[in-house]
């Protein structure tokens, strides 16, 4: 009986709607998205380098004490938990900035392709480069 109910539910489901619900993306939208991603990437990179540097700076005095304890053959007493966490989080932020830089350049490339792949107006030769800025007037009838 359960199999019959599932089969009936599957037959009543319809496929995806053929009308797109997302509006087409424009060049300006892609450039804005690229700019925001690049800003976020720089923030991640700078913050990550700052955190990793702070962790390194905080661990230097403890490292000197550990080296001194090695010279005197005593047990090191330093605990690097806070500094290690700072360096790990900073390193993760630096690594996390790489995909943001990549996505930013990909969106900028898509925006540039939108301009180069646009169709020329009817009656214009294909020899006219598409990089020339033009003016279009639309008259509604």
Task: Find the Cα–Cα–Cα–Cα dihedral 56, 60, 66, 68, rounded to 10°.
Answer: 160
pLDDT at 129: 64
Q: Is the pLDDT of residue 21 over 70?
A: no
Q: Is the pLDDT of residue 18 over 80?
A: no
| Residue 123 counted as domain residue | no
Tokens in use for 15?
A: 């496929």
| Residue 56 counted as domain residue | yes
The whole domain housing 59 covers 26-115
* Residue in 96, 91, 65, 89 with CA at minimum distance from that of residue 79: 65
pLDDT at 98: 95
| Residue 53 counted as domain residue | yes
More confident: 7 or 85 = 85
Where helices occur in the chain by DSSP H, the ranges are 2-12, 27-71, 81-116
pLDDT at 132: 63
With beta carbons less than 8 A apart as the criterion, state whether 46 and 101 touch.
no
Q: Is the pLDDT of residue 27 over 60?
A: yes
With beta carbons less than 8 A apart as the criterion, state whether 47 and 92 touch.
no
pLDDT in tens, 84-127: 899 999 999 999 999 999 999 999 998 888 866 666 555 566 66
The backbone region for 82, taken as left when phi is positive above 0, alpha when psi lies in -120 to 50, beta otherwise, is: alpha
The total of structural domains in the chain comes to 1
Q: Model-level pTM greater than 0.85? A: no
pLDDT in tens, 46-65: 999 999 999 999 888 887 77
| Residue 74 counted as domain residue | yes
Mean confidence (pLDDT) of the chain: 81
């Amino acid at each position: 009986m359960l199999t019959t109910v599932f089969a009936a539910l599957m037959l009543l489901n319809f496929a995806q709607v053929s009308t797109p619900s997302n509006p087409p993306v424009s060049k300006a939208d892609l450039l804005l998205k690229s700019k925001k991603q690049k800003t976020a990437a720089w923030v991640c990179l700078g913050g990550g380098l700052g955190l990793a540097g702070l962790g390194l700076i905080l661990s230097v005095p403890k490292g000197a004490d550990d080296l001194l304890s090695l010279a005197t053959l005593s047990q090191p007493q330093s605990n690097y938990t806070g500094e290690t966490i700072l360096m790990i989080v900073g390193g993760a932020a630096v690594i996390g900035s790489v995909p943001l830089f990549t996505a930013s350049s990909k969106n900028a490339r898509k925006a540039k392709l939108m301009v180069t792949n646009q169709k020329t107006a009817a009656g214009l030769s294909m020899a006219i480069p598409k990089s020339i800025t033009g003016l279009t007037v639309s008259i509604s009838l």
